[in-house]
Structure 1
Amino acid sequence: MRRTAVLGSAGTLMAGTLIAGAIAAPTASASGGRGGVLEERGVNIAAERAADRGVAWADCPADWGLPKPIQCGTVTVPLDYQRPNGRQITITVDRIGNTGTPAERQGALFYNPGGPGGSGLRFPTRVTGKNPIWANVAKAYDFVGFDPRGVGRSTPISCVDPQEFVKAPKADPVPDNEADKRAQRKLAAEYADGCAERSGWMLPHMTTANTARDLHVLRAALGERKLNFLGVSYGTYLGGVYATLFPGHVRRMVVDSVVNPSRQKIWYQANLDQDVAFEMRWNDWKAWVAANDATYKIGDTPAKVEAQWQKLRAAAKKAPLGGVVGPAELTGFFQSAPYYDSSWAPVARVWSKYVAGDVQALVDAVAPDMADTAGNIRAENGNAVYTAVECADARWPTDWRRWDRDNTRLHRDYPFMTWANAWMNLPCATWSTRQGPAVDVKSGKGLPGVLIVQAERDAATPVGGAHELHKRLKGSRLIMEKNAGSHGVTGIANACVNQRVDAYLLSGALDDRNVTCDPHAVPKP
Structure 2
Amino acid sequence: MPPSRLFRSTATTAAAAAAALALLLSGCSSGTSPSPGSAASPDRSTEAGADRPGSAAAPLQPLPTVIPNNLRPYYDQKLSWHDCGVAGFQCATMKAPLDYAKPSAATDLKLAVARKQATGPGDRLGSLMVNPGGPGGSAIDYLQQYAPQPTAVRARYDMVAMDPRGVARSEPVECLTDPQMDRFTQTDTTPDTPAEVSQLVTADRNFAKGCEARSGKLLPHVSTVEAARDMDVLRAALGDKKLTYMGASYGTFLGATYAGLYPTRAGRLVLDGAMNPSLDSRTINLDQTAGFNTAFTAFAAECVKKKDCPLGTKSAEDAGRQLSALFKKLDAHPAETGQERKLTESLATTGVIAAMYDQGTWPLLRESLAQAKAGDGRGLLALSDSYYERNSSGHYANQMYANPAVNCLDLPPAFTGPDQVRAALPAFRKASPVFGDNFAWSALSCAYWPVKSSGQTHRIEAKGAAPIVVVGTTRDPATPYTWAKGLSAQLSSATLLTYVGDGHTAYGRGSDCVDTAINTYLLEGTPPAKNKRCT
For the aligned pair, the TM-score class normalised by the smaller chain equals 0.7 to 0.9
Partner of 2:449: 431
Does structure 1 residue 198 correspond to structure 2 residue 214?
yes
Residue 297 of structure 2: which of 260, 283, 290 is its match?
Answer: 283
SS in 2 for 1:159: coil
User: What's the secondary structure of 2:93's corresponding residue?
Assistant: strand
State whether structure 2 residue 319 is matched by structure 1 residue 305.
yes
| CA shift in 2, pair 1:242/1:461, >3 Å | same
Q: Assess if the C-alpha contact under 8 Å between 1:325 and 1:367 holds in 2.
A: no
Conserved? CA contact 1:392–1:436, under 8 Å:
yes
Alignment of 1:205-284 (within 5 A): 205-262=221-278, 265-284=279-298
- Whether the 8 Å contact between 2:271 and 2:469 is mirrored in structure 1 is yes
Asked if residue 58 in structure 1 is aligned to residue 79 in structure 2, the reply is no
- State which of 315, 324, 332 in structure 1 corresponds to 2:342: 324
Partner of 2:362: 344
Matched residues in 2 for 1:373 and 1:197: separation? 27
Task: Quote the offset at 1:383 in angstroms.
Answer: 1.7
TM-score (norm 1): 0.83
> For residue 488 of structure 1, what is the aligned residue in structure 2?
505
1:142 aligned residue: 158
Secondary structure class of the residue paired with 2:268? strand
Gap change, CA 1:84 and 1:367, over 3 Å in 2: closer
- Residue type matched to 2:518 in 1? V
**Once structures 1 and 2 are overlaid, which stretch shifts more, 335-344 or 70-79?**
335-344
What secondary structure is seen at the aligned counterpart in 2 of 1:122?
helix
Match of 2:138 in 1: 119
Question: Deviation at 1:375?
Answer: 6.6
Deviations 1:50-71 (A, max 9, x none): 453322111225xxxxx21111
Gaps in structure 2 of 5+ consecutive residues: 14-57
In structure 2, C-alpha distance between the alignment counterparts of 1:177 and 1:57, rounded to whole Å: 56
Q: What is residue 88 of structure 1 aligned with on the other side? A: 108
- The 5 A counterparts of 1:347-358 are 347-355=365-373, 357=374
Asked if structure 2 preserves the Cα contact closer than 8 Å seen for 1:286 and 1:305, the reply is yes
- For residue 480 of structure 2, give the secondary structure of its aligned residue in structure 1: coil
Q: Structure 2: how far apart are the matches of 1:248 and 1:431?
A: 35
**TM-score (structure 2 length as normaliser):** 0.81
Q: CA deviation at 1:364?
A: 6.2
**Match for residue 402 of structure 1?**
420
State the 1:514 CA deviation.
Answer: 1.8
Shift of 1:254: 0.1
Contact 1:169 1:325 in 2 (8 A): no
Q: 1:309 to 1:60 in 2, by over 3 A?
A: same
The separation in 2 between residues aligned to 1:35 and 1:354, in whole angstroms, is 52
Instruction: Structure 1 unaligned segments of length 5 or more: list them.
Output: 6-30, 62-66, 519-525
Q: How has the CA–CA distance of structure 1 residues 121 and 96 changed in structure 2, closer, same or farther, with 3 Å as cutoff?
A: same
1:240 is displaced (CA, Å) by 1.0
State the secondary structure of the residue aligned to 2:192.
coil
Offset, 1:298: 4.3
* Cα distance between partner residues in 1 of 2:505 and 2:380: 28
Per-residue CA shift, 1:421-469, capped at 9, x if unaligned?
3343323213222313326342334301100111011111111111111
Question: C-alpha distance in 2, partners of 1:242/1:374?
Answer: 38
For residues 130 and 96 of structure 1, what CA distance do their matches in structure 2 show?
8
SS at match of 2:401: helix
Q: 1:375–1:489: structure 2 CA closer, same or farther, 3 Å change rule? A: farther
Q: Which amino acid aligns with 2:498?
A: M
User: Does the aligned pair in 2 maintain the 1:169–1:320 contact within 8 Å?
Assistant: no
Deviation at residue 159 of structure 1 after TM alignment: 1.9
Aligned to 1:419: 437
**How far apart are the structure 2 equivalents of 1:374 and 1:204?**
31
Equivalent pair of 1:34/1:440 in contact (CA under 8 Å): no
The question of whether the paired residues in 1 share the 8 Å contact of 2:367 and 2:379 is answered with no
Alpha-carbon distance change, 367 to 386 in structure 1, aligned in 2, over 3 angstroms: closer
**What's the counterpart of residue 151 of structure 1?**
167
Determine helix, strand or coil for the equivalent of 2:158.
strand
For 1:368 and 1:510, locate their aligned partners in 2 and report how far apart those are by CA, in whole Å. 39
Q: How many Å separate the matches in 2 of 1:290 and 1:201?
A: 51
Task: Indicate the SS of the match to 1:376.
Answer: coil
Matched, 1:314 2:332: no
Query: Displacement, 1:229?
Result: 0.5
Mapped partners of 1:373, 1:201: distance in 2: 31
2-structure distance, mates of 1:169, 1:458: 25
The residue type equivalent to 1:271 in the other structure is N
Match of 1:107 among 126, 134, 151: 126
> 1:160·1:194 contact (CA, 8 Å) conserved in 2?
yes
Partner residue, 2:33: none
Going from structure 1 to structure 2, the CA distance change for 1:429 and 1:365 (only over 3 Å counts) comes to closer
Aligned to 1:176: 192
In the TM superposition, residue 249 of structure 1 has moved relative to its aligned partner by 0.8
* Superposed CA offset, 1:376-430 (max 9, x none): 331xx21221111111112224354323211343125513333333343323213
Partner of residue 518, structure 2: 501
The CA distance in 2 between the partners of 1:508 and 1:386, in whole Å, is: 33
Q: Is the counterpart of residue 164 in structure 1 residue 180 in structure 2?
A: yes
Task: Please give the secondary structure, in 2, of the residue aligned with 1:156.
Answer: coil
The alignment-based identity, stated in percent, is 28
Structure 1 residues 367, 466: CA separation in 2 closer, same or farther (over 3 Å shift)?
closer
On the 8 A contact 2:60/2:260 being kept in 1, the answer is: no
* Residues 310 and 369 in structure 2, CA contact (< 8 A), matched pair in contact too: no
Shift of 1:488: 1.5
Could you tell me which amino acid in structure 2 is paired with residue 410 of structure 1? F
Could you tell me how far apart the structure 2 residues matched to 1:36 and 1:477 are?
Answer: 24
Q: Secondary structure of the equivalent of 2:135? A: coil
Change (3 A) 1:403 1:211: same
Give the alignment of 1:471-482 within 5 angstroms.
Answer: 471-482=489-500
